[in-house]
Structures are given as C-alpha cells and as structure tokens.
C-alpha cells in the first residue's frame, strides 16, 4: 500500500485494514457478493430475435410448447411390428408404409403384420417396436426376423413426451445461449428470446507512463494495452466495456475518473494498486468511503488485486447506487489472469448465471515445475489435448509484463500453494481463458 507523500492532503491514506487472502478464500469472497452483484445491473432484460441471442444469458425460461417427441417416434428405418410376434420368427405380411411426416391411418397392427417405417415417423397403432431393415429377411410382401434376431417392446422407439412434457422448462433462466439452447427454442416455436441486460463496465487505466493509441510514446512511455485487453475480455464475457480516459497518478484525476466510472454497473481499474509511492487508487477509493473485501491475494501473478465497493452517493440530485470495483494490477499478464479469476465470474454472475468460480480444467503436466510455498501460481502455458488426454506445458516468460509469452499461451497452469515440487505426469488444474 502506498503512503501518499506526494500529496499535501493528509486525509489520504490506505484502507485501514489490509486483507490479503488465499486464492480460494478470495474466490469465495467474490461469490459471497453474487446476489448483490446481480442486483447491481441497471440494464433491463431485452427481447431479441432468436439468431441474435447466441452468447447472451437467458432471462425467461424456454418451455416446451408440446410433448417432446410429440408422438412415439421411430429412431430407425425398418418395420413397425409387435415385438413378441416378430421375435417368434414367423413370416409377417407388410400391410403398408409410414414416412416421416405421415401417420398410419389403417387399423391397428395385428400379430402377423408389419408396416414399413422411416426414421422420425410416428409408430402405428398396435405396433410396439421397430426392427431395423438390416435385421429382416424380405420375401416379396413379407418379412421375418433374420436367424437369431429379436426385438424387445419399445426397441427403436422414443415414447411421446419422454424427452420433455408440454409445459416443462427445457432451458433454465441463467443459461448461456448457444446452438443447443437455440435448437430447443426453435423446437418450442420461440422466434425471440428474453435475454439479460448486459452490465456496463467502466475501465480506468491508471499510470503516468501511459499513452493512448493515437499518441506517439516517447522513450519512457508505454501504450495503454490493458485498456484494450480489458475491453476485449469484458466484451467476450457478454458485458459492455466503456474505456475511460487514462488517469494520471494524481488524486484529482483519479477522483474525476471515478466520478465518471460510478455511472456504470462495475468499475475496473488497471494499475496503481501496488506498493509504489504513486499507487494511489486504494487511497482515493478509501477517501470516498469504499469498503475493501480484499486488498491482495496470495497468488502470482496478481498479488496486489483489490476488490471492494463504493458506497451509495447522492450528488446534484442524482443517486449513484453502491458500486463494486476491482483494482487489477497493471502488469499486463497479472491484469488478464486476475480478470479471469475474479472479474469474469463476477460478470457471469451479473448476467444471471449460477457461477461456481473461475473456469478450470485438468491436464497432465508435461515437465517438472517448482512451486512457491504459500502462493497460488498461474503461469502462462499451452494446453494440448487429443481424444484421450490433455497435457500442459509452460511457455517461457520474462514475468508478468511479458505480453508476447502470454499470447503464445492458451491457458494458465495452476500450482497450488501447499507444494513446492510438481513432477512431469502430475495432474494439475489449468485456468481456461
């Protein structure tokens, strides 16, 4: 935490209580605020055309408008029969045909009869099974079971309503909409869907050294890449990013930017949260009465990350509700890792999903790695998987500023804090991105 000796205002100071949490405790702390995070989204539910709903979060359940399947459906091309009679092996006479989209209008099938049937056609009355065309002997207008072939009642038939009953919820509120959900909506005849409003997210990059893309950096300056990385991550998470102007490491500029930022549903700061003399973000937030749920996490990269909430405020007759914020460390890989660990689950929560934390998978470590006691490490790595297994290998990196290494990676290999040695062949977690 910085002691802000560069500023004359002595009322400034770091948050009074420092809370540096273990990684898992920090994730739990974020999830503990799930209900309030969800309640903090101002954007209303929207009704959108079905094909524009992909990637959004469902806000009104999709309900089956009729039984699924709507009739006893044949899953094979073959013959509708009475199972016991067919399995006895005698000749059955073919009395008709039923195609997908047709219905059998003749009398109920008798024991010595069969009806030719296609995949997707309704089972004729009287029949209780379908035998595959490959399993019968054909002789003119008659069939019989091939030697040793039998069929059981119900075989190759999906009963009416067995996938879903009319009125049953087939996709729950909070589901992310993809092809599977859109197919169910189409099945239920829904040409529009209600989706959750997108949270609006303010992105405040802080740092005296930063310049924007339209500016030419001098030899000491760097371009504000975090603003763009965060805007992309926010967009990919389904929310609306707003990149505010860069804030210099001075109190007045930070105050100004926070005043703009609190009009949004969530605030992300990048930089200015470490121990440096000009890391003022926490001080200024504390001055505004912010609560801090954690002021650091025992992880690497990402240790200085801050999570808190600005109190409700009235100004010029307008009410700014309480606003959650994350202070992400400025080192670009730290920014991205901490986004995936803490911000992404928060955004998914705000969109209505029932979130259990960051997205992890398991993979086999390809080589030995040293851990660090007491720190959860998440190192840029490549996950390669095939049909049988997933293996993960670290990419070489120069530390948490190494954007090039970060781009060579496709995930972060996770090394928990309680071991210092990891061996090739160990199964470890990877943080997906």
Residues in contact with ligand AMP by the rule CB under 6 A = 205, 207, 209-210, 222, 224-227, 270-272, 274, 276, 279, 329-332, 401
Q: How far apart are CA 258 and CA 204, in angstroms?
A: 8
Cβ–Cβ under 8 Å, residues 356 and 200: no
Identify whether 301 is preceded by a cis peptide bond (ω within 30 of 0).
yes
Q: Which lies closer to ligand AMP via its Cβ, residue 357 or residue 401?
A: 401
Q: Which lies closer to ligand AMP via its Cβ, residue 68 or residue 336?
A: 336
Site string for Mg ion, 257-296 (x = CB under 5 A): --------------xx------------------------
Partner whose footprint covers residue 15, from ligand AMP, Mg ion, none (CB < 5 to 8 Å by kind): none
Partner whose footprint covers residue 329, from ligand AMP, Mg ion, none (CB < 5 to 8 Å by kind): ligand AMP
Cβ–Cβ under 8 Å, residues 355 and 174: no
What is the separation of C-alpha 180 from the centre of its chain, rounded to a whole number of angstroms?
Answer: 15
Cβ–Cβ under 8 Å, residues 409 and 396: no
Partner whose footprint covers residue 270, from ligand AMP, Mg ion, none (CB < 5 to 8 Å by kind): ligand AMP
- 227 part of the interface to Mg ion, by CB under 5 A: no
Rounded to a whole number of angstroms, the minimum distance from the CB of residue 340 to ligand AMP is: 17
- Number of residues assigned to the chain: 433
Rounded to a whole number of angstroms, the minimum distance from the CB of residue 226 to Mg ion is: 10
Which tokens go with 11? 């009322």
Segment interacting with Mg ion, rule: CB under 5 A, options 17-25, 92-100, 101-109, 207-215? 207-215
Cβ count near 274 (within 10 Å): 19
Rounded to a whole number of angstroms, the minimum distance from the CB of residue 213 to Mg ion is: 19
Q: Which lies closer to Mg ion via its Cβ, residue 174 or residue 207?
A: 207
The dihedral of CA 256, 260, 264, 270: what is its sign? negative
Q: How far apart are CA 400 and CA 336, in angstroms?
A: 10
Output the DSSP codes for 285-332. Answer: HHHTT-EEEESEESEES-TT-EEEEEPPEEETTEEE--EEEEEE-SSH
Q: For residues 26, 296, 418 and 396, what is the CA-based torsion angle, rounded to 10 degrees?
A: 110
Rounded to a whole number of angstroms, the minimum distance from the CB of residue 57 to ligand AMP is: 29
The dihedral of CA 412, 377, 339, 47: what is its sign? positive
Rounded to a whole number of angstroms, the minimum distance from the CB of residue 55 to ligand AMP is: 26
Q: How far apart are CA 301 and CA 332, in angstroms?
A: 10
Partner whose footprint covers residue 124, from ligand AMP, Mg ion, none (CB < 5 to 8 Å by kind): none
Partner whose footprint covers residue 174, from ligand AMP, Mg ion, none (CB < 5 to 8 Å by kind): none
Rounded to a whole number of angstroms, the minimum distance from the CB of residue 236 to ligand AMP is: 18
Rounded to a whole number of angstroms, the minimum distance from the CB of residue 379 to ligand AMP is: 18
Q: Which lies closer to ligand AMP via its Cβ, residue 142 or residue 225?
A: 225
Partner whose footprint covers residue 238, from Mg ion, ligand AMP, none (CB < 5 to 8 Å by kind): none
Rounded to a whole number of angstroms, the minimum distance from the CB of residue 290 to Mg ion is: 19
Q: Which lies closer to ligand AMP via its Cβ, residue 296 or residue 332?
A: 332
Helix (H, G, I), strand (E, B) or coil at 346: helix
Rounded to a whole number of angstroms, the minimum distance from the CB of residue 223 to ligand AMP is: 7
What is the separation of C-alpha 363 from the centre of its chain, rounded to a whole number of angstroms?
Answer: 19
Q: Which lies closer to ligand AMP via its Cβ, residue 187 or residue 274?
A: 274
Which tokens go with 136? 């019968």
- 207 part of the interface to Mg ion, by CB under 5 A: yes
Q: Which lies closer to ligand AMP via its Cβ, residue 332 or residue 358?
A: 332
Q: Which lies closer to ligand AMP via its Cβ, residue 227 or residue 238?
A: 227
Q: How far apart are CA 213 and CA 336, in angstroms?
A: 20
Rounded to a whole number of angstroms, the minimum distance from the CB of residue 50 to Mg ion is: 45
Q: How far apart are CA 232 and CA 224, in angstroms?
A: 13
Q: Which lies closer to Mg ion via its Cβ, residue 5 or residue 191?
A: 5
Q: How far apart are CA 273 and CA 33, in angstroms?
A: 22
Rounded to a whole number of angstroms, the minimum distance from the CB of residue 168 to ligand AMP is: 49
Q: Which lies closer to Mg ion via its Cβ, residue 274 or residue 429?
A: 274
Strand order of the β-sheet with 142-145 is 129-132, 78-81, 113-117, 92-98, 142-145, 136-139
Radius of gyration of the chain (CA): 31
Q: Which lies closer to ligand AMP via its Cβ, residue 328 or residue 413?
A: 328
- Of all residues in the shown chain, the one whose CB is closest to ligand AMP is 330
Q: How far apart are CA 326 and CA 302, in angstroms?
A: 12
Interaction with Mg ion in 155-184: which residues (CB under 5 A)?
none
> What are the residues binding Mg ion (CB under 5 A)?
207, 271-272, 330
């Amino acid at each position: 935490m910085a002691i802000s000796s560069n500023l004359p205002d002595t009322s400034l100071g770091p948050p009074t209580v420092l809370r540096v949490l273990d990684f898992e405790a920090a994730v739990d702390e974020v999830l503990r605020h799930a209900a309030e995070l969800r309640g903090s989204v101002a954007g209303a539910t929207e009704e959108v055309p079905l094909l524009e709903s992909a990637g959004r979060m469902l806000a009104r359940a999709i309900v089956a408008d009729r039984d699924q399947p709507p009739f006893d459906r044949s899953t094979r091309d073959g013959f509708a029969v009475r199972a016991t009679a067919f399995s006895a092996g005698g000749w059955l006479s073919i009395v008709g045909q039923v195609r997908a989209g047709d219905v059998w209008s003749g009398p109920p099938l008798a024991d010595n009869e069969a009806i030719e049937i296609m995949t997707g056609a309704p089972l004729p009355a009287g029949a209780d099974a379908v035998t595959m065309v490959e399993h019968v002997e054909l002789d003119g207008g008659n069939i019989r079971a091939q030697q040793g072939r039998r069929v059981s009642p119900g075989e190759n038939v999906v009963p009416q309503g067995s996938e879903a009953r009319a009125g049953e919820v087939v996709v729950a509120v909070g589901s992310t909409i993809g092809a599977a959900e859109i197919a169910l909506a189409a099945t239920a005849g829904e040409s529009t869907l209600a989706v959750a409003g997108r949270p609006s997210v303010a992105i405040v990059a802080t740092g005296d050294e930063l310049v924007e893309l339209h500016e030419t950096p001098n030899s000491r300056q760097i371009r504000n890449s975090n603003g763009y990385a965060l805007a992309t991550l926010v967009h990919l998470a389904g929310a609306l990013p707003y990149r505010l102007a860069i804030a210099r490491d001075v109190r007045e500029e930070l105050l100004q930017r926070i005043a703009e930022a609190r009009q949004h549903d969530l605030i992300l700061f990048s930089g200015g949260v470490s121990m440096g003399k000009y890391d003022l973000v926490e001080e200024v937030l504390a001055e505004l009465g912010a609560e801090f749920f954690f002021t650091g996490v025992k992880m690497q990269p990402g240790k200085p990350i801050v999570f808190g909430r600005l109190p409700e405020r009235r100004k010029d007759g307008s009410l700014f509700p309480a606003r959650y914020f994350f202070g992400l460390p400025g080192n670009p890989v730290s920014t991205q890792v901490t986004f995936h660990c803490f911000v992404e689950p928060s955004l998914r929560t705000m969109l209505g999903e029932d979130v259990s934390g960051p997205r992890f998978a398991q993979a086999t470590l390809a080589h030995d790695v040293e851990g660090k006691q007491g720190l959860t490490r998440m190192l840029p790595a490549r996950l390669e998987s095939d049909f049988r297994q997933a293996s993960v290998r670290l990419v070489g990196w120069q530390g948490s500023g190494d954007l090039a290494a970060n781009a060579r990676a496709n995930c972060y290999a996770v090394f928990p804090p309680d071991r210092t040695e990891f061996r090739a062949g160990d199964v470890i977690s990877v943080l997906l991105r």
